[in-house]
A and B are shown apart, each in its own frame.
Chain A
């Protein structure tokens, strides 16, 4: 079974631009979560999508948004990029999105650098 894939793996943008990151979950997984990882703040939850609906949301500004398609693939978008958005963005997928019974499988991440 193929693992979680994320594209692109590396991205360089300038302040003010917008960016779209993509995540393809493991086949059959319906839950996709996004995390931001930075040296200062560590891993922080952005949002979770399940069956095309945002089910949970972290404490990030509205510039961060996402969506999920009918095939469970997910995209996240960051508008009006700021220097502080430079981070590793991780995507994770699971069957039903229940940590006590499901296992979240993480992708390799997209490294975003904002100049």
Chain B
């Protein structure tokens, strides 16, 4: 069964500090992993996908198949990064079915 686990419900850091949001997954094949973000009073939106190997708003995420993890990292957090972050998984074949973690609420304090 596909499963995504985000162990931290809440994460609080100070501005300028590094931040890492953890994501672990369970999937027997080769998954596609994503991070979605929801800022206050805004819609859920895609932040980045592992296949693109891109950095968005200073965030990066590396897929570690050995540890079945896809942690989201940013070296210097900004107050505007405060939001709800969801890790999501899609199975092989590009199925549109996304399995989401329960999310981590990140607060960046001034």
8 Å CB interface, A4-37 against B: 4, 31, 33, 35
| Closest beta carbon of chain B to A23's beta carbon, Å | 13
1/0 per residue, CB under 8 A from B, across A52-83: the answer is 00011010000000000000000000000000
How many residue pairs link A and B with beta carbons under 8 A? The number is: 60
Q: At the interface, is chain A mostly helix, strand, loop or mixed?
A: strand
Chain A residues with Cβ under 8 A from B102's Cβ?
Answer: 42
Task: Flag whether A112 is at the interface (Cβ < 8 A).
Answer: no
Chain B residues with Cβ under 8 A from A58's Cβ?
Answer: 97
8 Å CB interface, B31-66 against A: 32, 34, 43-46, 49, 51
Task: Flag whether B85 is at the interface (Cβ < 8 A).
Answer: no
Chain A residues with Cβ under 8 A from B13's Cβ?
Answer: none
Chain A residues with Cβ under 8 A from B86's Cβ?
Answer: 43
8 Å CB interface, B2-16 against A: none
Task: Flag whether A110 is at the interface (Cβ < 8 A).
Answer: no
Chain B residues with Cβ under 8 A from A42's Cβ?
Answer: 100-103
8 Å CB interface, A71-108 against B: 90, 92, 94, 97-101, 103-108
Chain B residues with Cβ under 8 A from A92's Cβ?
Answer: 44
Task: Flag whether B95 is at the interface (Cβ < 8 A).
Answer: yes
Q: B96 near A100 (CB under 8 angstroms)?
A: no
Chain B residues with Cβ under 8 A from A106's Cβ?
Answer: 43-45
A interface with B by C-beta (< 8 Å): 3-4, 31, 33, 35, 42-45, 48, 50, 55-56, 58, 90, 92, 94, 97-101, 103-108
Task: List 17 other contacts, CB 8 Å, given A3-B43, A100-B94.
Answer: A42-B100, A42-B102, A43-B86, A44-B100, A45-B97, A45-B98, A55-B96, A58-B97, A92-B44, A97-B94, A98-B94, A99-B32, A99-B98, A100-B49, A100-B51, A104-B46, A106-B43
Closest 4 CB pairs of A and B: A98-B94, A43-B100, A42-B102, A97-B96
